[in-house]
Structure 1
């Protein structure tokens, strides 16, 4: 039997992750508060007068700034405030929608951004749309057995947070999730259509504690399985609630 092993959201894209116990999904939308905000750099093409989804290269992301991987987050939905934590920087609480509080966040995160690379300039959001890496409103689904297969090839434990997944399922065989493409999966009371495997980038090489690239995850995937995919993208087709330990079933 397949069950929900973990649920994660990433309130600010590439700037922290948060484990949650339950989530209400809405058809056609991303996970609530997942990649709700994104951090711009000087070369971004995001139009704040007409906020719409744009590609990830317009933002500060872990693949270009691996130090960001060491951030963890706690979102206070009622207050609209988020607390970010990093082993080297301590914590910082602020409201990403308050222009007067952005400078404090930029100052806090700046030590993680190399001076010879892009640096953060602001925070943006799109109404009712998480800033996912896909042009469609996606939710990512991971398989714990697939993660264990990668660990087995590596010969040691690997932090699952590296994969930045939303829903972790325990029960299917390793890599079975790739067979779900084009199918519908019911998780809790929600239903999602599986769209495609997730092609991975160097962001997964960064340690989620130190922010240093210490594991060649892409090399392991290519060497052992001749691809660099991990997890699948899905879209919500039926609104519903998903909680830890809920049953998942491919329809």
Structure 2
């Protein structure tokens, strides 16, 4: 298998905004840098700062589709995050600041559907970001698989529905599912493929509008017999990667 890196994305606040990157330096045993460093708790959450907690403890796109339309920019030096949404005024916050966190909760409240647990605050992860897996994972999406799913749906789907950290192009559609246990090499970086990613209802939402408009899960199930899209990897050997870099299985 050969191919190339097509795009890099991070999500500083879990489920609340995406940001494209031109390069990134990965570290062995760690998650994607600055990805899901913060997460948004809700009224029923039992999560605590400094440790990993599973998805149900947080406000997320599967339950609140308007969150999928948020974009983000993180200033790494100041640790301030700027958030944008098509129906909200731009806001810049320090997620660790109590007053800014309160402003953020006010900002996001109109985006939350009625009948759902209200967002209550921001917490910071420990060494591992608040990924969807209990291990320090990085997510990879295959653009060929996205094109196959788009063809089955009957419309071009945005990669942003799937919130992958690394998008690749070149390998055949769905071939990534055969790589479990294999190692992907990009420059000097080595990524160990761990498992497939089973998707949630967030992928049904148009990331430009925040409206659910496509039965992605149903189409996956009816056409391929599963609801999986993308793979989780862990970093065995760190280093810098960028869009355009070649990749191969080793």
The TM-score, its normalising length taken from structure 1, stands at 0.97
SS at match of 1:108: helix
Partner of 2:106: 107
SS at match of 2:145: helix
Q: Does 1:165 align with 2:164?
A: yes
* Aligned-pair CA distance for 1:32: 0.7
Partner of 1:37: 38
SS at match of 1:174: coil
Distance, in Å, in 2 between the alignment partners of 1:120 and 1:104 is 12
Q: Does 1:59 align with 2:58?
A: yes
Partner of 2:215: 216
Distance, in Å, in 1 between the alignment partners of 2:20 and 2:159 is 12
Partner of 1:201: 200
Partner of 1:179: 178
CA RMSD, Structure 1 to Structure 2 (Å): 0.9
User: Does the 8 A contact of 1:193 with 1:235 survive in 2?
Assistant: yes
User: Does the 8 A contact of 1:188 with 1:243 survive in 2?
Assistant: no
* Aligned-pair CA distance for 1:155: 1.6
Gaps of 5+ in 2: none
* Aligned-pair CA distance for 1:119: 1.1
- 1:39-72, CA deviations, whole angstroms, 9 ceiling, x for partnerless residues? 0011111234xx2111110110111111111100
Distance, in Å, in 2 between the alignment partners of 1:70 and 1:20 is 18
SS at match of 1:222: helix
User: Does the 8 A contact of 2:24 with 2:33 survive in 1?
Assistant: yes
- 1:173-203, CA deviations, whole angstroms, 9 ceiling, x for partnerless residues? 0001011101011123211100111001101
Distance, in Å, in 1 between the alignment partners of 2:115 and 2:153 is 32
Partner of 1:24: 25
Q: Does 1:68 align with 2:67?
A: yes
* Aligned-pair CA distance for 1:129: 1.4
SS at match of 1:219: helix
- 1:103-143, CA deviations, whole angstroms, 9 ceiling, x for partnerless residues? 11111111001232111111011222110010000000111
Distance, in Å, in 1 between the alignment partners of 2:174 and 2:90 is 37
Gaps of 5+ in 1: none
Q: Does 1:146 align with 2:145?
A: yes
User: Does the 8 A contact of 2:48 with 2:123 survive in 1?
Assistant: no
Segments of 4+ in structure 1 off by > 2 A? none
